[in-house]
Amino acid sequence: MSLNIALHAGLSGVLTHQKQVEVTGNNIANVNTPGYSRQTLSVSPGKALNINGLLLGQGVDAETVNREYDKFVSGQLVEQGDMLGHEEAKSSPLAEIERIMGIGEDSLASEIEGFFGAWHDLSANPGGSVERDQVIYKGENLLNSFSQLESGLVDVRRNINDSLNAEVNGINLKLQKVAELNASIKDKQSLGHVANRDLDERDVVIKELSEILGMQTFETGQGQVGLQLPGGVPLVQGNRAMEFEGYYEGGNLQVQIRSGDVVLETDRTNFGGKFRGLMELRDQFIPELEQDLDDLRHGIVTNVNAQHEAGYDLDGNTGRSFFTRPASAQSETGFADPVALALDTGDIEINGSTITIDAQNNSLYGIRDAINDSDAGVIASVVHDGTDHHLDLTPKTRGADVESDFSQISDFIDEDTDGDFFDAAGSEQISVAIDSTDQVAAAGFPEGAPGDNVNAMAIHELNSSKLINGDQTFVDAYGRIAATVGTETRRNTMAREGAADTMDQLENLRESMVGVSLEQEMINLTLFQRGFEASSRFVQTIDEMMGTLIGLKR
């Protein structure tokens, strides 16, 4: 009987080597499949039979096809995917913002310089209609440049919303896929199979999800994996996946996560990866830039207006704004003579600052200058409504409140009015308010003589005064904005390159542990082929031996 047993042993060798060759062939076929883990056939010696006191091995048993797997590296890949997705998502919007916030010869800084340069030129020839025209034209140019920057940033935000929106469907498919794979792996394992393909595929999907959303994984038994956002919101549990829903609120795409009837609102802090990166730009970085630009424009508009209102045009008119006025507080009481030292003396309080008016400065102009010398956070100017002069207080920050107490200066209290300052509605869209060259207030003396350049000089000098936050000129302020963009872009480039490097190294590490090496497989192929050949030869030998035995009978 032992020859029969030997024949079986030979057969197991032939079959096992054939399986080995098949597994090797499969490895070679998948050499370029992303996420593929090299598979090996685990084999063990066949059970030994006790034959007449001799323990004889019964060939070889092929047990299971295993995949090589390193849990640590796989976990690292998911984590690094979060980082890489985060920085990569930021890079193209930042490149666009960088293009908008240029520093070349045609940047906003040059437009600011051009506008104040026009006032400088006007001061050389204050009566010239060409120079006056240039001031208006350059003012319009300056405002246009601001609008262009703003609409550029709005475009970037819209593109970010579009790319977020485009991801939502893909995310749902991927979450669904993970849930399905979880179910399939559980089924296969319960039947005693190893679901190598499903495991590999799930790893790939989770890594992709991590780049988009940032992902935390945890094993829940029976080969299943749970997924949750970095903030702890569960996305996949067993074979159930939550659903992402995008909706627009205030022009921005927001995401809510739905599981049956339970709906969870999210913001950028819930996410990692691409979503976090894009939402940080959209909700934090870009709004800050917009605010800074807005503050800069507000600073230019209010300071130029205040100085322009103090000057005289060619017809001797004063109190005219150069740009349309932002929201401000204006005195209800008007005064015919802004120079007369005829008002009450006493203390004025504005935004908590006390300004003392004495017999030296108890005129409308005196009060204006005293307020401007204080740190009340407003720019005071005297505007002319056609008949009377009114005191105007424009907050240095657009839209800020102006709390004022003029109770000690009784002149501001009129029988017809409640004595208070009223909120003058400002114009949302800032434009150049004057429409003829004669209205440019270049003169500093009431005659408005054509050769009077005093106010043009004063407006030109605003450009070299530190009027933004008290420590920056207008051009400085733009430089600071551009530097913020430059620094962030630079940081992003370095972080992105670093993350990509780390990712490459991790991929290589994974590859070196579980990847397919053609050399290794080819050598194994030869090995298994020889094993197959030897096993076949063994079967042939046994066959010959059996033939010899049968021949004995003849």
Partner 1 sequence: MKSTLAMNYRMLSSNLERSSNRLYDLRQQAATGKQMNRPSDNPSGIRPVLDYRVKTQAAERSLNQMSMAQGEMEVLDSSLDQVENILVAAKETGIAAISGAANEADRQTYADKIGQLREELLQAANTQNGGKYMYAGYSESTVPFRTVDDGTEDWDVEYDGDGHAKTVDIGTGNQVQVALPGNELFLGDYDNDGITDADGENLFAALKDFEAAIRNNDKAAMNNGLETLEESADQVRRLRGRMGNNAWRIERASEQLNGAAIEFEKILSSYEDADALEVFSQLVQQETAFEAALNVTTRISKLSILDFMR
Which helix (DSSP H) or strand (DSSP E) does residue 9 occupy? Answer: helix 2-29
Interaction of residue 184 with partner 1, rule CB under 8 A: no
Interaction of residue 236 with partner 1, rule CB under 8 A: no
Interaction of residue 447 with partner 1, rule CB under 8 A: yes
Q: How far is the CB of 290 from partner 1 (least distance, A)?
A: 17
Q: How far is the CB of 437 from partner 1 (least distance, A)?
A: 15
Among the candidate windows 226-234, 264-272, 440-448, 546-554, which touches partner 1 by CB under 8 A? 440-448
CA dist 372 and 394 (Å) reads 11
The tokens of 533 are what? 């050949």
Interaction of residue 110 with partner 1, rule CB under 8 A: yes
The tokens of 492 are what? 């992003």
Interaction of residue 508 with partner 1, rule CB under 8 A: yes
Interaction of residue 490 with partner 1, rule CB under 8 A: yes
Which helix (DSSP H) or strand (DSSP E) does residue 391 occupy? Answer: strand 389-395
User: For residues 75 and 446, which CB has a smaller minimum distance to partner 1 in the complex?
Assistant: 446
CA dist 194 and 99 (Å) reads 53
Among the candidate windows 53-61, 229-237, 332-340, 519-527, which touches partner 1 by CB under 8 A? 519-527
Q: How far is the CB of 509 from partner 1 (least distance, A)?
A: 9
* Residue 244 CB neighbour total at 10 angstroms: 20
Interaction of residue 288 with partner 1, rule CB under 8 A: no
Residues in contact with 265: Cβ distance below 8 Å, sequence separation at least 6, in sequence order: 254, 256
The residue from 234, 419, 426, 479 that contacts partner 1 (CB under 8 A) is 479
Interaction of residue 469 with partner 1, rule CB under 8 A: no
Q: How far is the CB of 451 from partner 1 (least distance, A)?
A: 4
Among the candidate windows 234-242, 263-271, 330-338, 470-478, which touches partner 1 by CB under 8 A? 470-478
Interaction of residue 152 with partner 1, rule CB under 8 A: no
Main-chain phi, psi angles of 316, to 5 degrees: 80, 10
Reduced to 3 states, what is the DSSP secondary structure of residue 422? Answer: strand
User: For residues 267 and 497, which CB has a smaller minimum distance to partner 1 in the complex?
Assistant: 497
State how far Cα 209 lies from the chain centre.
18
The residue from 420, 476, 502, 536 that contacts partner 1 (CB under 8 A) is 476
**Edge-to-edge strands, sheet with 328-331:** 378-384, 389-395, 328-331, 421-424
Got the DSSP string for 98-127?
HHHS--STTSHHHHHHHHHHHHHHHHHSTT
For the segment 2-31, give every residue that binds partner 1 (CB under 8 A). Answer: 31
Matching residue, tokens 């005297």? 382
Interaction of residue 527 with partner 1, rule CB under 8 A: no
- Express the helix, strand and coil content of the chain in percent, nearest 5 each: 55, 20, 30
Q: How far is the CB of 448 from partner 1 (least distance, A)?
A: 9
Among the candidate windows 44-52, 257-265, 327-335, 474-482, which touches partner 1 by CB under 8 A? 474-482
Interaction of residue 113 with partner 1, rule CB under 8 A: yes
Report the candidate in 116, 119, 118, 114 with the shortest Cα–Cα distance to residue 444. 119
Binding residues for partner 1, rule CB under 8 A, total 62
Interaction of residue 124 with partner 1, rule CB under 8 A: yes
Residues 58/8, Cβ–Cβ less than 8 Å:
yes
* Residue 508 CB neighbour total at 10 angstroms: 12
Q: ∠ CA 319-325-327 to the nearest 5 degrees?
A: 125
Interaction of residue 546 with partner 1, rule CB under 8 A: no
The residue from 451, 470, 547, 551 that contacts partner 1 (CB under 8 A) is 451
Q: How far is the CB of 131 from partner 1 (least distance, A)?
A: 12
Interaction of residue 417 with partner 1, rule CB under 8 A: no
- Please list the residues that pair with 331 across neighbouring strands: 421
* Residue 150 CB neighbour total at 10 angstroms: 16
Got the DSSP string for 426-442?
PPSS--B---SGGG---
Interaction of residue 507 with partner 1, rule CB under 8 A: yes
List the alpha helices (DSSP H) in 239-345: 273-280, 286-310
Q: How far is the CB of 515 from partner 1 (least distance, A)?
A: 5
Positive or negative torsion for Cα 320, 323, 329, 332: positive
Interaction of residue 72 with partner 1, rule CB under 8 A: no
The residue from 360, 487, 540, 541 that contacts partner 1 (CB under 8 A) is 487
User: For residues 411 and 507, which CB has a smaller minimum distance to partner 1 in the complex?
Assistant: 507
Residues 157/96, Cβ–Cβ less than 8 Å:
no
Residues contributing to the site for partner 1 (CB under 8 A) = 31-32, 98-99, 101-105, 107, 109-110, 113, 117, 120-121, 123-124, 127, 443, 445, 447, 449-453, 457, 461, 463-464, 475-476, 478-480, 482-483, 485-487, 489-490, 493, 497, 500-501, 504, 507-508, 511-513, 515-520, 522-523, 526
